[in-house]
Amino acid sequence: MREQFHGELAGLSEQMVEMTRLAGSAIGRATRALLDADLPLAESVITADEQIDDIQHEIEEKSLELLARQQPVATDLRVIVTGLRMSSDLERMGDLARHVAKLARLRYPNSAIPPELNSTILEMGQAAGRIVAKAGSVIASRDVAMAMELESDDDEMDRLHRDVFRLLLSPDWTHGVETAIDVTLCGRYYERFADHAVSVARRVTYLVTGERAHVSS
């Protein structure tokens, strides 16, 4: 009985890892769609977000069922409740990747991103991919040291985000206000994507150590 219960908890954890895979794929493809003005790719990201939402609903229903049927206490209870929180973060990361893809779609056949920002946005997309992959490993392994690494990955994302603003505000900016708005929102989507991944890692750390890191954004 108890073994079966822990099997079910492991199942929830695997579903969350699957969410990180889907969110990672989504942000990677959204970034390519954005930089290459690739409409079918953008559409595919927008459509695929439903899968992430569906897994979140499954996790929610399964968690409620486990709480009702198994009446867990102490650590098991915290694992389930924390899982609910993490699945919300991961669902939101899917939304943010979708927002990037929608921006690509909105400006098609043009690219929303001017050439001099391409490499920074590409790096933000790559950083987002690394962070979400690491969040998946942290969920699977409960490796607190790896969870700490996400903090410095997030610092890198913040550095790239500042680069975006620096380029927007440089006297050489010739792309007007509309593109500045697009780039501003886009930068915010990547930054928030990383914040949610950090939040996932912090929740795992809290589960393992009982110490709460302050989550700010």
- By CB under 8 A, name the one of 14, 47, 64, 159 that touches a second copy: 64
Compute the chain's Rg from CA coordinates: 19
- Positive or negative torsion for Cα 102, 189, 133, 85: negative
CB of 88 to a second copy, least distance (A): 7
- By CB under 8 A, name the one of 48, 77, 140, 148 that touches a second copy: 77
- How many chain residues are in contact with a second copy, going by CB under 8 A? 29
Give Cα 69 distance to the centre of its chain.
31
Query: Residues of 35-44 as b/e, b for ≥16 C-beta within 10 angstroms?
Result: bebbeebbbb
Rank residues 38 and 89 by Cβ distance to a second copy and give the closer one.
89
Q: Which of 43-48's residues contact partners 24+ apart within 8 Å by CB, and which partners?
A: 43/101, 43/105, 45/97, 45/98, 45/100, 45/101, 46/98, 46/101, 46/102, 46/105, 48/22
Rank residues 67 and 148 by Cβ distance to a second copy and give the closer one.
67
CB of 145 to a second copy, least distance (A): 25
189: left (phi over 0), alpha (psi -120 to 50) or beta: alpha
- By CB under 8 A, name the one of 13, 15, 20, 63 that touches a second copy: 63
- By CB under 8 A, name the one of 4, 71, 109, 115 that touches a second copy: 71
Rank residues 141 and 217 by Cβ distance to a second copy and give the closer one.
217
CB of 100 to a second copy, least distance (A): 14
For position 95 contacting a second copy by CB under 8 A, the verdict is yes
| Helix intervals (H) in the chain | 2-36, 39-70, 74-107, 118-141, 144-168, 176-209
Half-sphere exposure (Cβ direction) of 171: Cα atoms closer than 13 Å: 0
Q: Which of residues 109-168 bind a second copy (CB under 8 A)?
A: 165, 168
CB of 57 to a second copy, least distance (A): 8
The residues of the shown chain that bind a second copy, judged by CB under 8 A, are: 57, 63-64, 67-68, 71, 73-74, 77-78, 81, 84-85, 88, 95, 165, 168-169, 173, 177-178, 180-181, 184-185, 188, 212, 216-217
